[in-house]
Structure 1
Amino acid sequence: MHIVLGVAAFAAFLVLAGVVYERLGQYRAARDFPPAGQMVDIGGRRIQLDCRGAGSPTVVFEAGLSVEGSLSWSAVQPKIDAHTRACAYSRAGLMWSDSSSAPHSAKQVVQDLHAALTNAGERGPFVLVGQSLGALYAMDFTRYFGPDVAGLVFVDPSHPDQVERVADFMTESRSMLSRVGVALAWTGVLRAAAPVLLPRPPQRTASDAQAMRAIWAYAPRSLTTQLAESDSTDSTLAETRGFRELGNRPLVVLTAMAPYTTAELRGMKITPEQGRQVQVIWKQLHEEEVTWSSRSSHRVLPNSGHNIQLEDPDAVIEAVLSVVRAVRAGGPAEAP
């Protein structure tokens, strides 16, 4: 009996220590990593919005299904804001942005972004830059706020039909371990595991390392939101399926075609040959997206993986600036 009580007391001590560790981590995150840009009130909630530079059109960056929020674009935004106004932000529940009590949806995402831009005094025309799932959010922003959108860049974008098109090769799965980790975030488990769960991407400057420390500091909140967004992927794809007409807005689509790594194949539970077939389909999906605008271009990047903005930021920078120039000139986007 004494052994059982001792084990229970020790377990209770560990939980209490974890709670204290998590609370202390939250305090240190707010102290050491203040939000980049400003916190914009959108009606009882605040969205982090980081706008820099001057000029028109204003480039607006939309991150993919990740935890980095506005910091997804830390290697790209400084090169864009030297030429025009450039805004990156964090969706609700990511990094510094307050969470939303509403069920996750693409419409909610774009309404939040529009409200943040409007309340911060940012005005179109906008060039929307979306990576992965962020490209579909950019499409939905265009659907609801089309007059504000002058051009788009898709960075290895998702496609509304992608799940059905690759169903013969792979099925989507979500880790039970990640669910347990999110459920126990209040105990400090996610904070302690953040450097393992979120390994460092390629880093070029001291500011890259500082950004990574900020991402780890806010990991418990961001990972919880990322899981909710991941669970809503099917409904998000369905929600964005009904709009595919960009008219004559300049559009550049970037496709990552570096062979899948061993770790990526293992995560997708497919063989190298299946991986090659999935990539053929992925390229075909992007070729379809190119047809969504009459003023579009497509660039395939054989040496870049999915996170092109981190692995080959120069390709993204060239694409964005080509669309900016096209908007200013009123012509088609130049082939990067």
Structure 2
Amino acid sequence: MTQFPAVRSPSVRPPTARRASLLRRLTLSAGLLAGVTLLGACNETRAEQADARAYPPPGRLVDVGGFRLHLECAGSGAPTVVIDAGLGAWSTPWHAVQGLVAGTTRVCTYDRAGLGYSEPGPLPRDAAHFAAELHTLLHRAALPGPYVLAGHSLGGLTMRVYAQRYPQDVAGLALLESMSPQPGAAAPTAASDTPGLPLLKLAARLGLVRLLSGPLGLSAGLPARDAGPATALAVTDRYFQTLSDETAGIPASLAQAGEVTTLGDLPLTVLSRGRNAVPAWTAGQARLLTLSSRTTQVTAHHSGHNVELDEPQAAADAIVALVRQLR
């Protein structure tokens, strides 16, 4: 009888061996990821420490009750102008406007808590709390009033609330492309974060936002002297946390400002963009004119929303005209 050679069956690794191999690969990948994460976080910490040495606060830090706010003043004369920036913004982009106004009177910019050079403050981050903190800042800094308040975008809501709560402190109000509550509009009690903000916060903690700061154009439109510090202050996880907190407070800020329906005969200037205006925003700017019986409307013809970058001269001219009117 013919015998055939035995045929070997292909070797098959036992299930236990396959699981062990997969576990080793997963462990190695997790270790590499943890190492890269730790390295990125350590490098970002060192970079932020270097930035703090390279870009010290140009103004002074004033304690307002457990945390300090950054205040920077220039020029001389009265009334003193106080500028508040928009959502997630601080004093640095307003240096051009500040320099132009300083030729006429004293002008101060400040950074809301957690932004720019200011230390983080307590929640919630809304117009009522911003106004209270600003009031404490100005008085503890011994700045003589009454003031001309100038608020851009979200800062316009703060200044509107401030003018109503502390009328003895306010000589005039300039709303520069200010947000404007819509009467009768139902607003949620809280705003959810912009979906990308938590991810950006993590990316900032690992140094990825710093790595991409050039392509992201974080200092676009700023002069060279401001580009470095502006980028340094915008690539940290603290910045994105504060931006998230301010975004969450927008509905409350709109509601608080909406309760201010009249400022009597307080001199009021409303500056609005000349480019890229949409009907809803234009209607909101018109509503701002009804807040006082003494209003002036100004258009920055060559500017979009960020008038401090697009047309700083127009913003400065509107503020200076209000100062001269008061004098």
Quick check: TM above 0.5?
A: yes
Work out whether 1:187 is the aligned partner of 2:187. Answer: no
* Equivalence map 1:16-35=2 (5 Å): 16-35=38-57
Work out whether 1:107 is the aligned partner of 2:128. Answer: yes
Q: How far 1:192 moved relative to its partner?
A: 3.2
Aligned partner of residue 94 in structure 1, secondary structure: coil
Deviations along 1:77-98, whole A, 9 cap, x unmatched?
0111121111100000001111
| Map of 1:235 onto structure 2 | 252
Aligned counterpart for 2:80 among listed residues 49, 52, 58: 58
Q: How far 1:159 moved relative to its partner?
A: 0.5
Native 8 Å contact 1:37 1:50 kept in 2: yes
| Map of 1:13 onto structure 2 | 35
Work out whether 1:131 is the aligned partner of 2:131. Answer: no
Work out whether 1:88 is the aligned partner of 2:100. Answer: no
| Map of 1:79 onto structure 2 | 100
Native 8 Å contact 1:22 1:187 kept in 2: yes
Q: How far 1:211 moved relative to its partner?
A: 4.3
Native 8 Å contact 1:191 1:220 kept in 2: no
Work out whether 1:324 is the aligned partner of 2:315. Answer: no
Aligned counterpart for 1:43 among listed residues 65, 83, 86: 65
Alpha-carbon RMSD: 2.3
| Map of 1:150 onto structure 2 | 171
Deviations along 1:201-221, whole A, 9 cap, x unmatched?
324x4324344344345x432
Native 8 Å contact 2:88 2:242 kept in 1: no
**Which of the pair has more CA radius of gyration?**
2
Aligned partner of residue 253 in structure 1, secondary structure: strand
Q: 2 CA distance for matches of 1:78 and 1:222?
A: 25
| Map of 1:122 onto structure 2 | 143
Deviations along 1:114-170, whole A, 9 cap, x unmatched?
1111111112010001001111100111122111100011111101118949xxxxx
Q: How far 1:174 moved relative to its partner?
A: 5.5
Aligned counterpart for 1:207 among listed residues 225, 231, 236: 225
Q: How far 1:5 moved relative to its partner?
A: 2.4
Distance 1:196 1:178, change over 3 A: farther
Deviations along 1:208-241, whole A, 9 cap, x unmatched?
4344344345x43222211111121111111221
Distance 1:303 1:112, change over 3 A: same
| Map of 1:222 onto structure 2 | 239
| Map of 1:283 onto structure 2 | 282
| Map of 2:295 onto structure 1 | 296
Aligned partner of residue 74 in structure 1, secondary structure: helix
| Map of 2:304 onto structure 1 | 305
In structure 2, list runs of 5 or more residues that go unmatched: 1-22
Q: 1 CA distance for matches of 2:192 and 2:281?
A: 18
Q: 1 CA distance for matches of 2:147 and 2:195?
A: 39
Q: 2 CA distance for matches of 1:200 and 1:132?
A: 19
Q: 2 CA distance for matches of 1:3 and 1:308?
A: 54
Distance 1:13 1:163, change over 3 A: farther
Native 8 Å contact 1:62 1:89 kept in 2: yes
Native 8 Å contact 1:201 1:310 kept in 2: no
Q: 2 CA distance for matches of 1:29 and 1:311?
A: 27
Aligned partner of residue 258 in structure 2, secondary structure: coil
| TM-score, normalised relative to structure 2 | 0.85
Deviations along 1:180-217, whole A, 9 cap, x unmatched?
222454333343344444533324x4324344344345
In structure 1, list runs of 5 or more residues that go unmatched: 166-171, 261-278, 329-336
